[in-house]
Structure 1
């Protein structure tokens, strides 16, 4: 089955009170693990590629890996650019075959963000490609995306932004953050703000970035076998499930996959000191990705059997 647009996925998610998982990919094992989980749960999937992943694997390799992933599946799958920094990178991946892009102008002044987003929208829509934009700013670190504090999305600005740019979905800031160190105190999401935006933009798909839960099991596993990931704390899964039941149609998950892979690889190497075949630890990490994604599909996103 060829790659698809998120349009029908999000229509179903909005109406059904669930969300689609957008899982970051960097290599073959991650793609395989995500695809296996989606197949087992009959769930629609968004595989997303950051600028860092594109630089690491190469656009050509990513496209060929996706081509292989789609050979034996009937699942609807979107290939999405995560945090596109400018028009040029968005254009490159659109021309390369992506079906969805994010233009992240959240670091720009409001008018500049509108102008950059509108430029991407015009190019993408002529080619049938979906555009996600961002308004507001998330604290934390994700590759080259860095912010010391959260700037919450203003609901009235969100309406103006969507109307003037024509973007198809909007990533908003309601309390999530990038990376593994999201909260120092009690975790909270501003559901009143989300509901206000949803009321002003009815049936419009909202996106949450920085939505990994930083599963304690894998933090503990990594630390037990030589890691130093102290104080990591993510977004509680019940809060994400609540968001998915509202206007949030896409939830981004990256850190949890990284932690699952790292914890399992550290454990495998510690317990198998004589093994030097990469297929051993990479195979174990692929299984960890699959189980993490299955867990998210069932318990956080609610999109099992929605393909």
Structure 2
């Protein structure tokens, strides 16, 4: 099947909202784990999102990633969404749209609210005209630097109403990367935002290392997209290391990659189970 357009993605999330589950979002770092994400989605019969950070997309290129993703989508019957993650630059967001991504995140969460709104609105207008889904962020989820602050309910409502963004990342105490100690998620804040924006998919960033029961509770309280990157990437890279150690460097590259992909898929299946999305395609 083709990668879904915005209206189809909206419907995918609408089903998640009514069904009380979340859509798994997995960050890829090369072509091997991108393929693993698509295969895991097909095998678990779940809609799934493969996302690239700015480091990944700048290294690999929007056009090449998109070309592979469209092929992967055509090989299965489960919805496969290609997402540009945490893009701080509207120009780059638009380049991803032009390259064939069907979902983008414009992240201006480090800006004052009015500036955040203006930037998000610009991207929404461009992306929606091309049938592309848009995620924004309110509050700020730290990127390993400890610079985070929780979302504000009034600001969340104002941003959505002013921009028409399709999904909203809400900072509720999580951070990107691994945690030294399990985070304390602000479930009360999550419930408040969910009640204020009942039809908007809320996104949990920084899923690596959050205890599974905490993720499940967040899903019960309104999270409809769970982002996991570091955990899967490290599992994939460790799989490459272990494959080389077990097989030796003379073993064909494809055998080594297949070993690492299998490891990554095991971790992706764990995320799918936390989201409760297995069989929801």
Q: CA RMSD in A?
A: 1.5
Contact 2:49 2:80 in 1 (8 A): yes
Calculate the TM-score normalised by the size of structure 1: 0.86
| Structure 2 Cα separation of the partners of residues 281 and 251 of structure 1 | 29
Contact 1:37 1:294 in 2 (8 A): yes
List gaps (5 residues or longer) in structure 1: 142-146, 213-233
Deviations 1:255-296 (A, max 9, x none): 111121122222223333453532232111111121111222
Shift of 1:121: 1.1
List gaps (5 residues or longer) in structure 2: none
Alpha carbons of structure 1 residues 162 and 71: separation in structure 2 relative to 1, 3 Å? closer
Confirm or deny that 1:268 pairs with 2:243.
yes
| Structure 2 Cα separation of the partners of residues 187 and 50 of structure 1 | 22
Q: Secondary structure at the match of 2:226?
A: strand
Contact 1:118 1:166 in 2 (8 A): yes
Query: 2:143 is matched with which residue?
Result: 140
Of 259, 278, 281, which aligns to 1:304? 278
Of 188, 197, 200, which aligns to 1:201? 197
Contact 2:63 2:100 in 1 (8 A): no
Give 1:181-196 correspondences, 5 Å limit. Answer: 182-184=179-181, 186-196=182-192
Matched positions, count: 278
Query: 1:283 is matched with which residue?
Result: 258
Q: Secondary structure at the match of 1:258?
A: helix
Of 167, 174, 178, which aligns to 2:172? 174
Q: Which has more helix, going by share of residues? A: 2
| Structure 1 Cα separation of the partners of residues 72 and 240 of structure 2 | 23
Of 225, 230, 244, which aligns to 1:255? 230
